[in-house]
């Protein structure tokens, strides 16, 4: 089986240009939390090691693996895990689909199968509870059955999860991972969920971005906000999410996956004000330059990037190299990832970047490579 991520990392780790080349990717220790935000320019996924060899995968995208003629798309998250020696069938304790958009969902069906144990046990598949299980079925029934479409593939994953009692629609205050209990759902909001019970509601009415699963991680001294593609909206967006939750900085530095690729419409300053009460936040932005994803222009928005670059402890961007020329950027799409790791009981995050990930800014106190926060 050929590798994809290790050769990229190897290049950087032996590079003479980098003042502080990052360490080669490895499995975190049992007492470490690690967050890996990965993507090419048109997709994103997050891997979270919550301790003791247990992993959660949030969203999926495909990478091309193999030599020229034998190249095949493979789900990036499970590929990465295999390369650092993880047995996905054993160690992936849950998969989250934040919302059914191609840049978060491509390859999900195959990835779900890759995480099935030899005895046929699937991990839970967490999906937005803005639709009930039967409404998700209705949603897929109303879609085209063309195998070239994303919904065709997603329906397979949803059906298999449902048949195995592993399809879990989640809403605000749901908690993920059973006994591991360290990920809290803070969206879909109660107002978004009320809609599904209304007589005139159709499953296709639910806007995927406003239905996104937003997660809050708290594990020992590690905390993180995974903003999915959530945007601003008075009932379903950030304003309402903050009204309905009591996340707080707890004196720590918080890792934030910036919502919706850093678009202008998803930027909500009160989120980041929350983290002023702690040690500040580390921002990870995923670039998106795919017009098929519904974005007219490449994201992140310049002003949003500048905001985080000036307010955060450090800001990183993952995706194709900076170019607003969509056609050009598409041809240079490669993988990159940001790794943030910390001992569960320590305060500092250790951040490293690989591949197409870049540092937009880091606080003056932190020299070299990526840094400690």
Choices 109-117, 132-140, 229-237, 299-307; region in contact with Zn ion by CB under 5 A = 229-237
Q: Residue 59, interface with Zn ion (CB under 5 A)? A: no
Residue with Cβ nearer Zn ion (68 or 292): 292
CB of 157 to Zn ion, least distance (A): 17
CB of 103 to Zn ion, least distance (A): 6
Q: Residue 301, interface with Zn ion (CB under 5 A)? A: no
- On whether the CB atoms of residues 188 and 129 are closer than 8 A, the answer is yes
Choices 38-46, 146-154, 179-187, 223-231; region in contact with Zn ion by CB under 5 A = 223-231
Residue with Cβ nearer Zn ion (158 or 275): 158
Residue with Cβ nearer Zn ion (15 or 204): 204
> First-to-last CA distance in the chain?
36
The pairing of beta strand 167-170 with beta strand 125-128: parallel
Which uninterrupted H or E stretch holds 136?
Answer: helix 133-141
- On whether the CB atoms of residues 108 and 78 are closer than 8 A, the answer is no
Residue with Cβ nearer Zn ion (86 or 285): 285
CB of 105 to Zn ion, least distance (A): 9
Say how far apart CA 192 and CA 203 lie, in whole Å. 12
CB of 228 to Zn ion, least distance (A): 8
Residues of span 78-137 touching Zn ion by CB under 5 A: 101
Is the Cα torsion angle 24, 46, 152, 292 positive or negative in sign?
Answer: negative
| One character per residue 181-220, x = contact with Zn ion (rule: CB under 5 A) | ----------------------------x-----------
CB atoms closer than 10 angstroms to residue 302: 11
Q: Tokens 């891997």 appear where?
A: 47
Say how far apart CA 153 and CA 165 lie, in whole Å. 19
Residue with Cβ nearer Zn ion (309 or 326): 326
Choices 1-9, 52-60, 188-196, 222-230; region in contact with Zn ion by CB under 5 A = 222-230
Q: Residue 257, interface with Zn ion (CB under 5 A)? A: no
CB of 102 to Zn ion, least distance (A): 8
Q: Residue 229, interface with Zn ion (CB under 5 A)? A: yes
- Token pair listed for 79: 């590929």
Say how far apart CA 274 and CA 3 lie, in whole Å. 40
Say how far apart CA 132 and CA 119 lie, in whole Å. 28
CB of 214 to Zn ion, least distance (A): 12
CB of 99 to Zn ion, least distance (A): 6
Say how far apart CA 195 and CA 209 lie, in whole Å. 15
Say how far apart CA 113 and CA 156 lie, in whole Å. 10
Q: Residue 261, interface with Zn ion (CB under 5 A)? A: no
Q: What are the residues facing 281 on neighbouring strands? A: 254
Residues that bind Zn ion (CB under 5 A): 101, 209, 229
């Amino acid at each position: 089986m050929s590798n994809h991520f290790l050769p990229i990392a190897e290049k950087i780790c032996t590079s003479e240009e980098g003042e502080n080349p990052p360490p080669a990717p490895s499995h975190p220790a049992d007492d470490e939390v690690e967050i890996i935000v990965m993507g090419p320019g048109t997709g994103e996924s997050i891997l979270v090691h919550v301790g003791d060899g247990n992993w959660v995968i949030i969203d999926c995208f495909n990478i091309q693996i193999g030599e020229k003629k034998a190249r095949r798309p493979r789900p990036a998250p499970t590929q990465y895990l295999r390369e650092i020696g993880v047995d996905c069938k054993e160690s992936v304790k849950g998969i989250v689909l934040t919302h059914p958009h191609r840049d978060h969902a491509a390859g999900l069906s195959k990835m779900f199968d890759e995480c099935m144990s030899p005895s046929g046990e699937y991990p839970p598949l967490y999906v937005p509870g803005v639709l009930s299980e039967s409404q998700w079925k209705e949603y897929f029934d109303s879609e085209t059955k063309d195998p070239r479409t994303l919904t065709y593939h997603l329906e397979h994953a949803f059906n298999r999860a449902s048949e195995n009692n592993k399809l879990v629609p989640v809403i605000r205050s749901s908690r993920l991972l059973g006994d591991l209990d360290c990920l809290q759902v803070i969206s879909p909001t109660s107002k978004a969920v009320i809609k599904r019970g209304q007589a005139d509601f159709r499953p296709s009415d639910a806007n995927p971005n406003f239905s996104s699963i937003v997660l809050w991680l708290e594990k020992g001294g590690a905390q993180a906000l995974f903003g999915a593609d959530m945007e601003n909206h008075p009932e379903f967006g950030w304003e309402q999410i903050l009204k309905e939750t009591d996340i707080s900085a707890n004196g720590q530095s918080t890792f934030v996956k910036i919502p919706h690729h850093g678009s202008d419409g998803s930027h909500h300053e009160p989120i980041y004000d929350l983290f002023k009460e702690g040690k500040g936040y580390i921002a990870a932005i995923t670039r998106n330059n795919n017009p098929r994803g519904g974005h007219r222009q490449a994201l992140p928005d310049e002003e949003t990037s500048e905001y985080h670059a000036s307010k955060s402890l450090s800001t990183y961007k993952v995706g194709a190299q900076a170019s607003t020329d969509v056609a050009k950027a598409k041809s240079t799409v490669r993988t990159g990832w940001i790794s943030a790791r910390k001992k569960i009981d320590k305060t500092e995050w250790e951040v490293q970047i690989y591949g197409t990930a870049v540092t937009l800014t880091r606080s003056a106190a932190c020299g070299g490579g990526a840094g400690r926060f």
